[in-house]
A and B are shown apart, each in its own frame.
Chain A
Amino acid sequence: MSTVEAPLYPIAVLIDELKNDDIQLRLDSIRRLSTIARALGEERTRSELIPFLSENNDDDDEVLLAMAEELGVFIPYVGGVEHAHVLLTPLETLCTVEETCVRDKAVESLCKIGSQMRENDLIEWFTPLVKRLAAGEWFTARVSACGLFHIAYPSAPETLKTELRSIYGQLCQDDMPMVRRSAASNLWKFAGTVESAHLKADIMQMFEDLTQDDQDTVRLLAVEGCAALGKLLEPQDCAARILPVIVTFSQDKSWRVRYMVANQLYELCEAVGPEPIRTDLLPAYVRLLRDNEAEVRIAAAGKVTKFCQILSPELAIQHILPCVKELSLDSSQHVRAALASVVMGMAPVLGKDATIEQLLPIFLSLLKDEFPDVRLNIISKLDQVNQVIGIDLLSQSLLPAIVELAEDRHWRVRLAIIEYIPLLANQLGVGFFDDKLGGLCMQWLQDKVYSIRDAAANNLKRLAEEFGPDWAMQHIIPQVLEIANDSHYLHRMTLLRAISLLGPVLGSEITRSKLLPVVVNASKDRVPNIKFNVAKVLQSLISVVDQSVVEKTIRPCLVELSEDPDVDVRYFAVQGLQSIDQVTMSS
């Protein structure tokens, strides 16, 4: 060690690895940049490390991304807020690289730093940076600039503010669609910092320009910001300036623009008063619900409940409900699925009478849908409707749907319904569950697909939690333990899995008296896979049962397995024995 003292060696390596040929080492090193900075001290971090990083701008993207992220929280390491400006240089370079995620991260970090900087420093360092980027030769710099105006603007003096507004206006009309897109998607952020007089004049002008852009993709993003922009304006201004744009866009030639409107409409409703909702936005929304492009209907259908919540029940019943009826019979399964995932939420809004009269038939038809996702989406939101109409009404139609899904030939559908069984059990109550669903839960334990058997075992655990050990003893355990005699070893494995899950829930007494004997019995199975799983289960049960049981039952069984001819069985048995020893030692 000729140059560095031994204790510093690790940190010296870390520093050297900033320039290692191996990208992984460089990445690791960059991720620990704060350690390096602390080792160098604030002074040298400012004078050496930061300039060094500024040079390091043609590294791999992953490294640059990590660097952009680290620099965002670097203020403490350069000596606090008064020195924060030194961080701007490396980040400025990163704002111009061609990889979008690096630029975005650099902009994010710049915003983080800028929001902590002192007002004078912002004027002296940050604003010039924004102006440099906005005038950048390559579009990448100008794209990044758009995301920084809202930090620079508030502290700028009046003349500079005027200049910044005019620069942003130019960015909105840049030659490159990428720059205009960035200007469009950042407009609402910038608008949030602009004084209301200029907001109404300059910013709204930019907004209008963007909404008339040739490129669909720019218009799209202009729509996206509509709601946020609308909330900044007075309701009457919003109704006068934003509303017409939205109404026009809701009839745009491009389905993607209409799709965006369908997604944004609800947010916009919050910005304008109730009157424009009734006169303008409701008709627009109804049009979108009946759009001839399925993608637009999907987006609109997904918002149906939220939209109803801001309307009066009368309006919802009069205008929205007819559309919902149509959508429940839509030719696109994806539209029906989107509707099914939210339609249950309409029940509390409409009240009991309307729900039973109008909504229930829709639920029922969706529950019988030929497309499993639609049925699943209804079932997943069952709790919402249960509160309104009660389970008795639903259960007659619910049960066939559940049984059908439980036996669906696609295992993912079966898996999905298993996930909802605890929710159903909770809603339907013990009695109903025992009658109708208990059998299904057992049936899944012997499914052909591993994931289903595994989920079924997990399901039993959750049910045991829901209904308590007594119920489990009566309704689950006998049937489950019967599987021990199954001829198929995979089913016997599932049993072991179920036992290891149920043990902790049912407590030490039941485990000792009911479960453990079955496990010990299984240790004499002829299949090694069963035997080493026995070892694993035993290991997991050590903490469940009393110490005496461990010594009396579990240890002898593991000892026996540890002499098994099969190497894997021996391995897990020894592991089990070791954890017994650990428990004994610690207690």
Chain B
Amino acid sequence: MKGGDEEVATPAGPPQPLDWKFSKVFGERIAGEEIQEVDIISAIEFDKTGDHLATGDRGGRVVLFERTDAKDHGLSRRDLERTDYPISRHPEFRYKTEFQSHEPEFDYLKSLEIEEKINKIRWCQTANSALFLLSTNDKTIKFWKVQEKKIKKISKIIADPSKAVGNGNVASSSNSNSPKPFPTNGVSPDRSCNHLGNDISFPPGGLPSLCLPVVVTSQETNLVARCRRVYGHAHDYHINSISNNSDGETFISADDLRINLWNLEISNQSFNIVDLKPANMEDLTEVITSAEFHPAHCNMLAYSSSKGSIRLIDLRQSALCDSHAKLFEESEAPGSRSFFTEIIASISDIKFAKDGRYILSRDYMTLKLWDINMDSGPVATFQVHEYLRPKLCDLYENDSIFDKFECCLSGDGLRVATGSYSNLFRVFGCAPESTEATTLEATKNPMRRQVQTPSRPSRSLNSITRVVRQAETLGVDANGNSLDFTTKLLHLAWHPTENLIACVAANSLYMYYA
């Protein structure tokens, strides 16, 4: 019980715990409805501005959501701020569009089925109001452009007389500013020009009987997703992470043993920058579990391993970065070793904080916050579901111990969040002195679980008692066998600028704000 209980809470110091409220649910399950495997959401990501959210599912689909509250008034966000809008407004999202990103495939050379499941989505730099994102399954990364296109109709062509020329359309269309002061039909057939042979030569004034097709642009738009590039055939193992570089032109993709560096514009070659594959596979002791670029320094990236270590590498040092610049590892307490020690040490996800100074990591039992300037140990450790420790054996038996929980940080870096079982997720305050440790359930009533504990512990309470009490209440849950290992909340994301968490319970996307 580190982190929370190390300091004694002082009433004035840390920010107040957040009061989470339900905002919205997409794809809510009706009682008794069976979940389709393909509908289960497997990836979630906000874009940099927080105006868009993308989810990917096991069926290979990518669904986009857009923020509505800032746009409704047709004002830019800056205008809204100037009008000093009441702060009660919270970000609201609505469904925008969806597209099929990946299809199931079969690798004939290796006799392997390649699932269409989306493992990760990352947003890229927006340009020209088109949205760009990278999505990946186990093997292939795709670069998508999603753009609103005005529906255009060709109202007149000249060569095909069977297509009636309806100029009513043209006249009624208000916004089309394409050139249309044409006669409705070409020109009467008797105004013939000189006979033109095969070798066409045109009179200097041009041929008046020809005219350009008239395009009518309607006010209606539809969203079109186009796959712009496919980055394939670069990974022997399953891709677990992709991450964009701050330079806006490169990204990395990581599988179990290797990390490759790509240029967004070049899809037929990538550079291998980390290779953990030993000459003899029997010597393999450790695999890559997650990798991410530093948010500001284009030369730095971090990757985590199944042994519970995080390595920071500097791309400037060498072309092949097998040697790390910094290693973050927690030395294990002597005597605490058990059969499960190594398994639960495996890091399932790492995230840089926005400022790039801190790295958040999630292993099976804890969240750890690391300062990249301090490699002796984490600056804070948060126990996510300590009450499960006695049950590790069961969790091992049913493979739950290998579940890969993701983690996220708030935009201001003051709080962290991660998921657990029974569709629970936890939010911890990581500011110094903060004792905030909230448990929420991904339902319309997120605080349901907290009814048993005072939802706002009085500030005078010693943090130790608080943590103990919470563990107890959950323990009761566990003893009552109400813990459900099949409903696990693996994926969640924190809005980059607001206190809004989007989290995934099977096929449903829940959003909470504070």
Contact = CB atoms under 8 A, between A and B. Distances in A.
A and B interact physically: yes
Interface of A: 1-5, 7-13, 15-16, 18-19, 35, 38-45, 47-49, 51-52, 55-56, 58, 96-100, 138-140, 176-178, 181, 214-217, 252-257, 292-295
A9 B186 CA distance: 12
Contacts of B128: 96-98, 138, 140
A98 B130 contact: yes
B210 A39 contact: yes
A41 B206 contact: yes
Q: Chain A interface secondary structure, helix, strand, loop or mixed?
A: helix
Interface in B174-212: 177-179, 185-187, 189, 192-193, 195-196, 200, 202-207, 209-212
Contact of B206 (A38, A96, A99, A181): A38
Interface stretch (B155-163, B424-432, B433-441): B155-163
A255 B159 contact: no
Contacts of A10: 200
Interface stretch (B20-28, B313-321, B390-398): B313-321
Contacts of A44: 206
A39 B202 CA distance: 6
Q: Pick the most buried of A98, A254, A294: most chain B CB atoms within 10 A of its CB.
A: A98
A285 B206 CA distance: 63
Contact of A16 (B145, B149, B157): B157
Contacts of B217: 55
B380 to A, nearest CB: 29
B246 interface: yes
B299 A5 contact: no
Contact of B161 (A1, A214, A255, A293): A1
Given A39-B210, A98-B127, A9 B159 contact: yes
Contacts of A99: 228
A67 to B, nearest CB: 14
22 contacts: A4-B210, A7-B196, A11-B200, A15-B210, A15-B211, A38-B202, A41-B207, A48-B179, A49-B212, A51-B178, A55-B177, A55-B215, A58-B149, A97-B128, A98-B130, A99-B228, A138-B128, A140-B128, A177-B298, A215-B246, A216-B315, A295-B319
A222 to B, nearest CB: 14
B125 interface: yes
A11 B186 CA distance: 13
A90 B383 CA distance: 60
A7 B195 contact: yes
B159 A139 contact: no
A139 B127 contact: yes
Q: Chain B interface secondary structure, helix, strand, loop or mixed?
A: loop
B212 A3 contact: no
A1 B154 CA distance: 20
A148 to B, nearest CB: 18
B248 interface: yes
B178 A52 contact: yes
Q: Pick the most buried of B187, B189, B314: most chain A CB atoms within 10 A of its CB.
A: B189
Contacts of B145: 98
A12 B206 contact: no
Given A43-B205, A138-B127, A3 B316 contact: no
B247 interface: yes
Contacts of A41: 202-207
B386 interface: no
A13 to B, nearest CB: 5
B498 interface: no
Nearest to B129: A138
Interface of B: 125-130, 132, 145, 147, 149-150, 154, 157-161, 177-179, 185-187, 189, 192-193, 195-196, 200, 202-207, 209-213, 215, 217, 228, 246-249, 265, 296-299, 314-319
A221 to B, nearest CB: 11
Given A3-B185, A48-B179, A8 B209 contact: yes
Nearest first, the 9 closest Cβ-Cβ pairs linking A and B are A41-B206, A3-B186, A254-B316, A98-B127, A12-B159, A7-B196, A16-B157, A2-B161, A19-B213
Contacts of B215: 19, 55-56
A12 B158 contact: yes
A43 B161 contact: no
B318 A255 contact: yes
Nearest to A298: B319
A16 B298 contact: no
A2 B207 contact: no
A561 B1 CA distance: 92
A23 to B, nearest CB: 12
B205 A2 contact: no
B318 A293 contact: yes
A180 B13 CA distance: 42
A4 B209 contact: yes
Contacts of B203: 41
Contact of A15 (B126, B132, B212, B299): B212
A139 B213 contact: no
B144 to A, nearest CB: 12
A11 B205 CA distance: 16
Given A19-B154, A98-B127, A98-B128, A55 B178 contact: yes
Contacts of B125: 139, 176, 178
Contacts of B192: 5
Given A3-B187, A216-B316, A295-B319, 4 more contacts: A2-B185, A3-B185, A48-B179, A256-B315
A52 B210 contact: no
A45 B296 CA distance: 49
